């Protein structure tokens, strides 16, 4: 594609777009090939401008930067460089142009919030396809369409990956695409240029504060999605949902709410074993979904509300949500053993409460906290686990560059002395799961939290193969066979 066509819609502050052929685009200098356009973006740890000259040496046709200092430096050296207002927005626009602007031919739905994004997205994806509307999905667990799903590397992919995926889904004949939209993705303008048909706000609790700095900035990042959406569906029972509804009222755009306090889609009753009674503008509808926990009643109601507002009949929706299974989200792998992605204090508390209500025996939890992430949540999660569970095993969960024993120490520090007798630290995750299974009685429930769908452990810069589900099946089979480990 010629450079002027690639940058259509990108205001150039300085430098002209020469009529050269561009063979690809990237913001990673390691991916540059001859004829590529390199976008120098500034990250939290690395400034892409420092790799501009390296990219040019590797054959980049030009550099796009939003730094006047770097523009002047490269220009003075006679290098091909373009100055834009925002490199990340320019990258998203260029990616959309490169892949033929697929977003303009798709109805794209977005879901954001601290917890519930994956489940709500998956519910929308499954329900739409069951309703006879071909839909694709882009999220934490996977991306693709019903005939072929591919593993995802992150919640919201890079702008280049995102528009490439959208083109693929359009080519597969999808009418809708349901996207999880992370706060990082919004803050970094990865979805810039997309007008969402509808968007859902699930909830907001402290998370990613190591990146955003504070809860207010985290909320403002999430709120960006609703400036890009024609329709907003907001959790009325969440304090930040109320704030978001007020912002939408000022900024314009249609907003409906859901929740126990909502007058639009009212949660009239929730059975934590898997059903919710929803009051709708067309009357009350009971939806049997078979996902455990009150929080899943909220997720189902969110998805139901959005699809209802898009014109789908409530009675048809009632059938569309039956028996949807979400990988790694309150997934009962073997009887009484649940794997869940809960990796925030709020999510862990909700998962434990849900199982505690349904369990007639003891409640056991295996969990850890991720390394190189918000450290303030570690003692909080320790206290929640020890307060709600009868037995707690603290283990490793993607320690990354941190010593696992230090992470575990910070988790245990939050547990009151009188509750520490129920706590065991076993840093080997497989061994921790084995200990939990050995101690589990027939009436007991075991929650293995933190990793959910993930099939790796991230340790010292490497991703080592590890799946909670596969580990449970292996050890459970061995236990039932009477084998030794």
The annotation places the binding site for meso-2,6-diaminopimelate at 373, 397-400, 450, 454
Q: Are 220 and 244 in contact (CB under 8 A)?
A: no
Q: What are the residues whose beta carbons fall under 8 Å from the beta carbon of 373, sequence distance 6 or more?
A: 210, 400
CA-to-CA distance for 140 and 326, rounded, in angstroms? 11
Buried b (16+ CB within 10 A) or exposed e, 70-81: bbebbeeeebbb
Collapsing DSSP to helix, strand or coil, 335 comes out as coil
CA-to-CA distance for 300 and 316, rounded, in angstroms? 14
215-223 and 239-251 helices, crossing angle to 10°: 50
Q: What are the residues whose beta carbons fall under 8 Å from the beta carbon of 139, sequence distance 6 or more?
A: 117, 118, 121, 122, 152, 155, 178, 179, 180
Q: Would you list which residues are annotated within the binding site? A: 29, 113-119, 155-156, 182, 188, 190, 373, 397-400, 450, 454
Collapsing DSSP to helix, strand or coil, 33 comes out as coil
Kindly tell me the burial class for residue 477, based on how many C-beta atoms sit within 10 Å of its own C-beta (0-12, 13-18, 19 or more). exposed
Cα angle for residues 136, 137, 140 (degrees, 5° grid): 165
In DSSP notation, 182-210 reads -HHHHHTTTTTT--BSEEEE----S--HH
Collapsing DSSP to helix, strand or coil, 290 comes out as coil
For residue 49, give the DSSP letter: G
Q: Are 278 and 265 in contact (CB under 8 A)?
A: yes
| β-strand pairing of 456-459 with 142-145 | unpaired
Q: What is the greatest pairwise CA distance in the chain?
A: 75
Cα angle for residues 470, 371, 447 (degrees, 5° grid): 40
Rg of the chain taking only CA atoms, in angstroms: 24
CA-to-CA distance for 176 and 137, rounded, in angstroms? 9
Half-sphere exposure in the Cβ direction for 435 (13 Å, CA): 19
């Amino acid at each position: 594609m010629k450079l002027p066509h690639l940058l259509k819609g990108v205001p150039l502050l300085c430098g002209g777009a020469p009529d050269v052929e561009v063979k690809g685009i990237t913001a990673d200098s390691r991916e540059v090939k001859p004829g590529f356009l390199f976008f120098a973006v500034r990250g939290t740890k690395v400034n892409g401008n420092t790799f501009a000259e390296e990219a040019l040496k590797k054959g980049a046709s030009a550099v796009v930067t939003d730094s006047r200092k770097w523009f002047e430096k490269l220009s003075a050296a006679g290098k091909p460089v373009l100055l834009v207002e925002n490199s990340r927005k320019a990258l998203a626009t260029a990616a959309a142009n490169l892949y033929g602007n697929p977003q303009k031919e798709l109805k794209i739905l977005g879901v954001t919030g601290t917890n519930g994004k994956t489940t709500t997205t998956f519910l929308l994806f499954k329900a739409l396809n069951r309703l006879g509307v071909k839909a694709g999905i882009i999220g934490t667990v996977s991306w693709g369409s019903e005939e072929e799903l591919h593993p995802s590397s992150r919640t919201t992919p890079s702008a280049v990956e995102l528009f490439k995926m959208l083109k693929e889904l359009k080519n597969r004949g999808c009418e809708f695409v349901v996207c999880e939209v992370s706060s990082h993705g919004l803050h970094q303008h990865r979805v810039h240029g997309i007008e969402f048909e509808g968007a859902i706000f699930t909830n907001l609790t402290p998370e990613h504060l190591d990146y955003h700095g504070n809860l207010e900035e985290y909320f403002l990042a999430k709120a960006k999605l609703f400036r890009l959406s024609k329709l907003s569906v907001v959790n009325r029972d969440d304090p930040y949902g109320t704030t978001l509804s007020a912002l939408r009222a000022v900024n314009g755009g249609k907003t409906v709410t859901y929740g126990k306090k909502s007058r639009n889609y009212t949660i009239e009753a929730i059975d934590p074993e898997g059903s919710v009674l929803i009051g709708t503008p067309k009357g009350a509808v009971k939806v049997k979904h078979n996902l455990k926990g009150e929080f899943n009643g909220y997720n189902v109601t969110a998805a139901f509300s959005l699809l209802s507002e898009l014109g789908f009949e409530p009675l048809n929706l009632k059938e569309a949500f039956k028996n949807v299974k979400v990988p790694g989200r309150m997934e009962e792998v073997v009887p009484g053993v649940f794997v869940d992605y809960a990796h925030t204090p709020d999510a862990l508390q909700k998962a434990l409460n849900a199982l505690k209500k349904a369990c007639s025996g003891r409640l056991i939890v295996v969990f850890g906290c991720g390394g190189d992430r918000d450290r303030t949540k570690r003692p909080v999660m320790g206290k929640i686990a020890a307060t709600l569970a009868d037995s707690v095993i603290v283990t490793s969960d993607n320690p990354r560059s941190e010593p696992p024993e230090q992470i575990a120490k910070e988790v245990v520090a939050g547990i009151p002395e009188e509750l520490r007798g129920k706590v065991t630290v076993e840093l080997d995750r497989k061994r921790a799961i084995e200990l939990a299974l050995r101690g589990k009685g027939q009436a007991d429930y075991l929650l293995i939290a933190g990793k959910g769908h993930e099939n790796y452990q991230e340790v010292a810069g490497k991703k080592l193969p590890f799946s909670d589900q596969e580990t449970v099946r292996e050890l459970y089979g061995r236990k039932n066979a009477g084998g030794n480990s």
